[in-house]
A = this chain, B = another copy of it.
Amino acid sequence: MRVLGVDPGLTRCGLGVVDGLPGRGLRMVAAGVARSEAGLDHDQRLLVIADQIETWLERHAPDAVAVEQVFAQQNVRTVTGTAQVAGVAMLAAARRRIPVAVHTPSEVKAAVTGSGRAGKAQVQTMVARLLGLPSRPTPADAADALALAICHLWRPAGALGAPQRAPGSLTAAQQAWAAAEQAARRRPARRPA
């Protein structure tokens, strides 16, 4: 199974393609960043990013697209553009009938490090280790996109869209993932003051 991870952003949108199966070995297919110039009009920036995402979908033909959840509480200056790029990526996948999943940052961290509170560097180190890369993938947005793809491939049995597996056969990483997912669902939505 091949997954395209999308770490949405208007200036830099991380993209990472990983082949794998739940609990099995992983292989990096591609990693990179879609960019748009800050000087362009907003609609043109969305178009530039959308075109690059379309190119990745064409070239790599993923079986699923995993997008990072955007929370309204994130950086208020950029959250609208970030959400729009996430939407544009979901739309591009939906138009091609490719299933879309959304994962929270906590789920992604838990999937690759075993802890939903891991730092960025720890996530990047584990992405390199899991994919057998000689060093941390750069830029960071590409590494985050690869982590998203891994998170989706390793999501526990019973998660939305996950292949069926025998119960009780979760790896440690999958158990951490499930715990982080549960925690994220229990957490009440915070509201700005």
Residues of A at the B interface (CB closer than 8 Å) are: 41-44, 46-47, 50, 70-73, 76-77, 79-80, 83-88, 90-91, 93-95, 100, 102, 189-193
24 contacts between A and B (CB under 8 A): A41-B100, A42-B100, A42-B102, A43-B90, A43-B94, A46-B90, A46-B91, A70-B80, A71-B80, A72-B76, A72-B77, A72-B79, A76-B189, A76-B191, A79-B79, A80-B83, A80-B86, A83-B84, A83-B87, A84-B90, A87-B88, A91-B91, A190-B192, A192-B192
How many copies of the shown chain assemble into the complex?
2
Question: How long is the Cα–Cα vector from A192 to B193 in the complex, in angstroms?
Answer: 6
Contact B46 A76, beta carbon cutoff 8 Å: no
Contact B95 A47, beta carbon cutoff 8 Å: yes
Question: How long is the Cα–Cα vector from A190 to B110 in the complex, in angstroms?
Answer: 32
Contact B47 A91, beta carbon cutoff 8 Å: yes
The 6 A-B pairs at the shortest CB distance, nearest first, are namely A84-B87, A192-B192, A193-B193, A43-B90, A43-B100, A47-B94
Known pairs A47-B91, A72-B192 / 5 extra A-B pairs, C-beta < 8 Å:
A46-B90, A71-B80, A76-B189, A84-B84, A87-B88
Shortest CB distance A101–B (Å): 9
Chain B residues positioned under 8 Å from A44 (CB to CB): 94
Contact B73 A192, beta carbon cutoff 8 Å: yes
